[in-house]
Amino acid sequence: MSEAALELRQVTKRFGDVVAVDRVDLAVPRNRVVALVGESGSGKTTTGLMALRLVTPSAGQILLEGEDITALGQKQLKPHRRRMQVVFQDSYASLDPMMTLGEIIAEPLGIHQVGTPAERREQAQGWLEKVGLDGSYANRYPHELSGGQRQRVAVARALILGASVLVADEPTSALDVSVKAQIVNLLQSLQEQMGLSILFISHDLSVVRSLADEVVVMLRGRVVERAPTDRIFAAARHPYTQSLLDAVPVVDPSRRRRRTFLSAEEIAARTPRVRPHELEAPPPVDTAEPQLVALAGSHFVEAIVTERAA
Amino acid sequence: MTGFIVRRALSMLVTFIVVSIVIFLMMHAIPGGPFDGYEMPLPDNIKQRLMATLGLDKPLWEQYLRYMWGVLHFDFGVPYQSPGETVMGLVAHAWLPSLTLGGLGILVGAPIGILLGMAAALRRNSWIDYLASAVATLGLTIPVFIISTGLILVFAVWLHWTPASGWGEPKRWILPILAYGAVPLATYARYARSTMLDALNKPFVTVLRAKGLSEGRIVFQHVLRNAAIPMVTIFPVMFVGIATGSIFVEAMFRVPGLGAYFVSSIDKRDYPLEMALMLLISALYSVSYLIADICYALLNPRIRVDGGSR
């Protein structure tokens, strides 16, 4: 396998004294979906914005298809921007209310001077249909659409330049359950068709489960657990990940799990202990503090390495 | 759009009639009459003769209908305090200075305020942002007669740049224009800053950055267009408020404008003039709100009244 489509290495963001994102390592392999989950304030959105180079990292590196784009200025970034795109949660605020949908979808082509205005219009029309909207919507305005329809427009605008990397920041969080499923299906089919690599930021684990190949869990700016989706749902090790899983609603009341809300102290107290023989690789640092360690099956968890059982 | 304007014009007519009745009744509800001055009381028989000549001995409803019948023929009567001319003539010659100075004041103040507010929004927490906030707060909180005094003191008394009183030769207009400009400047500085910030913080701006659109184009092609709507729509109403004269500004600068008549007509029970001024103001405000609504509808696709959108 060649280099990842998008890779973050030890990326850190400080806002004054606050460390919003703390030495995050993350890689989205080509043609894969990686979910970044965590509660609000966990730094997942900032991480996404840094990946897009919309927020400048305080430290660390960002690689787009193997190329280091951390130090590029906005001008130098412009050609790279064609390859990475974004969809946000608030579908209404994401679309300029003064423009028609056709103009909105075609605008990226104009920014990168692709084709003539007529060709751009035609492409925009084509993309409307690709995301499941009628071509006649080109002359409508964002306020005339439902949230799900607007999110389709946002997806069309994101992909019209043929991006290979998509950062989707809670794209389904504001939608009804049925509409949510439609958008997830749309993303899934476009991902397969176009060979997209998606960084899917969400707190909705039910969506994550159906879409993601790998899950990265963030807590207060740090990655606390990272594993293939199946392993996260089957064998999460970190107490915070477990509490997130417990919070997923279960339809059958008799099977309803007890919800656990963990405070920072409780999480600290329950930090997993792993014994050295469980590790796939030696721990990066020799310390009694919690650190991200590799377990079998590409499973990483923030844990304390100790000889004694917890 | 035509239907909308016709409906609005009809509702304006109704408003106008209701306002005229209310004002007429309130005006006559104030105790005393035009000939009840304290200094030189008129003998009763003369007073009665005068009242009869002016029709003030008739029942109120008849007086009202007579007056409004005159209004329909653009005859607003004769001002009691200046019987040598008509109300129309008096308003026309007194309104000219107010309209000129107030109008120029807003035309000077509003653009400066907009530029200041825009600069403040684009350079948040810089010196220009603090300057804009200071100007906005001071301009709205310091009474205009204090501002006027300050202007006279600095520019006329200390610097000898301008005459202290205004009207007549254009040099004399400078200070009253500045005084009239303070409120629109302060209002627009605040408005421009907050509407720009509002638009700048929308996710669609982030998306445009992610597309690689330059900051300058983002501001001029997207942010300004969105921020302009509220700024345009407050203009007509503000214009009427300022261009009908301020008793304070006009008293400070000895401008023979309309402002003073608003007080003197009530004080002297100058019924025809008072009624005319009130009708003028309510008509101007009605029209200005209609213009504001039309501007809003033209600028904002969300409430465009027809043309395929709902």
User: Which among A214, A211, A202, A227 is positioned nearest to A301, based on CA atoms?
Assistant: A227
Give contacts of A166 with chain B, Cβ < 8 Å: none
Say yes or no to pLDDT of A52 above 90.
Answer: yes
Residue A2: band (very low, low, confident or very high) from pLDDT cuts 50, 70, 90: low
Cα–Cα distance between B198 and B170 in angstroms, integer? Answer: 40
pLDDT tens digit string along B120-167?
999 989 999 999 999 999 999 999 899 999 999 998 889 988 888 878
User: Which of A146-160, A248-262, B234-248 is least confident?
Assistant: A248-262
Say yes or no to pLDDT of A310 above 80.
Answer: no
Give contacts of A96 with chain B, Cβ < 8 Å: 204, 222, 225-226
Mean pLDDT of chain B: 87
Residue A49: band (very low, low, confident or very high) from pLDDT cuts 50, 70, 90: very high
Cross-chain Cβ contact B204/A143 below 8 Å: no
Residue A224: band (very low, low, confident or very high) from pLDDT cuts 50, 70, 90: very high
Residue listed under structure tokens 């001995």: B57
Residue A49: CB partners within 8 Å, gap ≥ 6?
A55, B206
Residue A256 confidence (pLDDT): 62
User: Which among A32, A78, A29 is positioned nearest to A53, based on CA atoms?
Assistant: A78
Locate the chain A residue with the closest alpha carbon to B201.
A93
Percent with pLDDT over 90 in chain B:
36
Other beta carbons within 10 angstroms of residue B292's beta carbon come to: 18
Residue B261: band (very low, low, confident or very high) from pLDDT cuts 50, 70, 90: confident
Distance of residue B203 Cα from the nearest chain A Cα, in angstroms: 5
Nearest-Å Rg of the Cα atoms of chain A is 21
pLDDT tens digit string along B167-180?
888 888 889 999 99
Distance of residue B120 Cα from the nearest chain A Cα, in angstroms: 21
Cross-chain Cβ contact A98/B226 below 8 Å: yes
pLDDT tens digit string along A122-170?
999 999 999 999 988 999 999 999 999 999 999 999 999 989 999 999 9
Cross-chain Cβ contact B210/A143 below 8 Å: no
Phi and psi at A245, nearest 5°, equal: -65, -40
DSSP class of A293: E
Residue A1: band (very low, low, confident or very high) from pLDDT cuts 50, 70, 90: very low
Q: Which residues of A291-304 are buried (b: 16+ CB within 10 A; e: fewer)?
A: bbbbbeeebbbbbb
Cross-chain Cβ contact B212/A82 below 8 Å: yes
Residues 37-96 of A with CB under 8 A from B: 49, 52, 54, 74, 77-78, 81-82, 84-86, 88-90, 93-96
Say yes or no to pLDDT of A85 above 50.
Answer: yes
Residue B310 confidence (pLDDT): 38
Nearest to B210 among A85, A93, A141 (CB): A85
Mean pLDDT of chain A: 89
Distance of residue B108 Cα from the nearest chain A Cα, in angstroms: 28
Cα–Cα distance between A86 and A50 in angstroms, integer? Answer: 12
Residue B43 confidence (pLDDT): 81
Say if CB B249 and CB B180 are below 8 A apart.
yes
Cross-chain Cβ contact A107/B214 below 8 Å: no
Cross-chain Cβ contact B212/A90 below 8 Å: no
Give contacts of B209 with chain A, Cβ < 8 Å: 54
Q: What's the average model confidence in pLDDT over B248-257?
A: 87
Cα–Cα distance between B45 and B222 in angstroms, integer? Answer: 73
Say yes or no to pLDDT of A222 above 60.
Answer: yes
Phi and psi at A291, nearest 5°, equal: -145, 160
**Residue A181 burial by Cβ neighbours in a 10 Å radius (0-12, 13-18, 19+):** middle
**Residue B33 burial by Cβ neighbours in a 10 Å radius (0-12, 13-18, 19+):** middle
DSSP class of A132: T
Residue B135 confidence (pLDDT): 92
Q: Is A106 on the interface with B (CB under 8 A)?
A: no
Percent with pLDDT over 90 in chain A:
58
Cα–Cα distance between A229 and A202 in angstroms, integer? Answer: 14
Residue B275: CB partners within 8 Å, gap ≥ 6?
B20, B23, B24, B27, B67, B76, B77
pLDDT tens digit string along B11-39?
888 998 999 999 999 988 888 778 776 66
Locate the chain A residue with the closest alpha carbon to B302.
A143
**Long-range pairs of A147-152 with CB within 8 A, sequence gap ≥ 24:** A147/A91, A147/A92, A147/A174, A147/A175, A147/A176, A147/A179, A148/A175, A148/A176, A148/A179, A148/A182, A148/A183, A150/A91, A150/A92, A150/A94, A150/A95, A151/A87, A151/A91, A151/A175, A151/A183, A152/A183, A152/A186
Q: What's the average model confidence in pLDDT over A53-72?
A: 92
Give contacts of B226 with chain A, Cβ < 8 Å: 96-98
User: Which among A51, A145, A76 is positioned nearest to A104, based on CA atoms?
Assistant: A145
Cross-chain Cβ contact B302/A143 below 8 Å: yes
Cα–Cα distance between A48 and B1 in angstroms, integer? Answer: 45
Residue A262: band (very low, low, confident or very high) from pLDDT cuts 50, 70, 90: confident
Say if CB B79 and CB B90 are below 8 A apart.
yes
pLDDT tens digit string along B74-117?
888 888 888 888 888 888 888 899 999 999 999 999 999 999 99
Residue B8 confidence (pLDDT): 86
Dihedral sign (CA A272, A273, A278, A284): positive
Give contacts of A108 with chain B, Cβ < 8 Å: 211
Distance of residue A56 Cα from the nearest chain B Cα, in angstroms: 13
Other beta carbons within 10 angstroms of residue B280's beta carbon come to: 17
Distance of residue A287 Cα from the nearest chain B Cα, in angstroms: 40
Cα–Cα distance between A58 and A55 in angstroms, integer? Answer: 9
Q: What's the average model confidence in pLDDT over A40-65?
A: 92
Say if CB B166 and CB B174 are below 8 A apart.
yes
Helix, strand, coil share (%) of chain B residues, nearest 5: 75, 0, 25
Cross-chain Cβ contact A98/B301 below 8 Å: yes
Say yes or no to pLDDT of B70 above 70.
Answer: yes
Cα–Cα distance between B9 and A55 in angstroms, integer? Answer: 51
Nearest to A96 among B210, B215, B226 (CB): B226
Other beta carbons within 10 angstroms of residue A73's beta carbon come to: 8
Say if CB B101 and CB B177 are below 8 A apart.
yes
Say if CB A172 and CB A207 are below 8 A apart.
yes
SS3 A174: coil
Cα–Cα distance between B43 and B34 in angstroms, integer? Answer: 14
pLDDT tens digit string along B291-301?
888 888 888 87
Locate the chain B residue with the closest alpha carbon to A76.
B212
Say if CB B179 and CB B252 are below 8 A apart.
yes
Nearest to A96 among B204, B212, B310 (CB): B204
pLDDT tens digit string along A204-216?
888 899 899 999 9
Locate the chain A residue with the closest alpha carbon to B224.
A98
